Amino acid sequence: MNTERLLGYSFKTPALLRQALTHRSAAAAHNERLEFIGDSVLNCVVAQLLYQRFPAMPEGDLSRIRAALVNRDTLAQLARRLDLSRYLRLGEGELKSGGMQRASILADALEALFGAVFIEAGFTAARDSVFTVYGDLLHDIDPEQLGKDAKTRLQEWLQARRLPLPEYTVFEISGEAHAQHFMVKGKVALLDDAVHGEGSNRRLAEQQVAEKALRLLAALPPGTTKRRGGKHPHD
């Protein structure tokens, strides 16, 4: 299974892997107990790494960074990178409601996989699996930025350069009331075109806009202070 390769671990017990990928809507032998173990293992691995990497950092900052690394959104993003949705076992209701892409289900399944590795092979194997999945995210930790959401980081970036703050606008809402989908566009200084984002609520869509804007701004030539064409931002 490709997920095992990306996880950096090959299971010797197929039933354990199957359980880790099974949502409670699909079978009685589901992944919630493994997710419970995996959550603890993940927190321990990340805490140990941060403790060793930043020996002078106070406990409050360590907790902030750890929370950002192990939260649902980060786990779901990593699960999507592993293409985990292809292997999930969900009940019919969850399948129909888009559970394959639901952040909470993806995050729980990834933690369950870490838990399954721990159960089968112990802490060292589970730790190595966490390091494999997280990769550069753990290697390139920026204590000043990690733990701040994309909208906050974008606002700080613009304020430091005395540029106008972004303007977010919802331009489309689709789907049933219980499963709405929001489309948002953002007008950001220095960028000619509006940046688009989407998500299951306005906040997530705006965060995606901000994340994309930060990447575009980072790609601008050094020293850029005006929008292409020489006009003042938002003219």
pLDDT digits (tens, 9 = 90+) for 177-204: 877 899 999 999 999 999 999 988 999 8
Task: Give the SS3 label for residue 208.
Answer: helix
Integer angstrom CA distances of residue 13 from 185, 196, 210: 47, 44, 43
CA distance 23 to 4: 18
The proportion of the chain whose per-residue pLDDT surpasses 70, expressed as a percent, equals 93
Catalytic (active site) residue 111: yes
Which secondary-structure segment (H or E) carries 170?
strand 167-174
Catalytic one of 39, 94, 108, 206: 39
Q: Among positive and negative, which fits the CA dihedral 16, 20, 22, 23? A: positive
Catalytic (active site) residue 61: no
DSSP states of 36-100 as a string? HHHHHHHHHHHHHHHHHH-TT--HHHHHHHHHHHHSHHHHHHHHHHTTGGGT-B--HHHHHTTGG
User: Where in the chain are all domains bearing CATH 3.30.160.20?
Assistant: 150-218
What's the confidence (pLDDT) of residue 225? 58
Any idea what DSSP says for residue 21? T
The type of residue at 91 is G
Single out the residue of 170, 172, 175, 164 nearest to residue 186, CA to CA: 170
What's the confidence (pLDDT) of residue 147? 65
The three-point CA angle 108-111-117 to 5° equals 140
Would you state the structure tokens that stand for residue 130, as one six-digit string?
A: 């966490």
Catalytic one of 35, 108, 111, 206: 111
User: Where in the chain are all domains bearing CATH 1.10.1520.10?
Assistant: 2-139
What's the confidence (pLDDT) of residue 145? 67
* CATH assignment, 2-139: 1.10.1520.10
CATH entry 3.30.160.20 includes domain 150-218: yes
Low-confidence residues of the chain: pLDDT under 70? 1-2, 145, 147, 225-235
- pTM for this prediction: 0.69
* Strands of the sheet with 195-199, listed across from one edge: 167-174, 181-187, 195-199
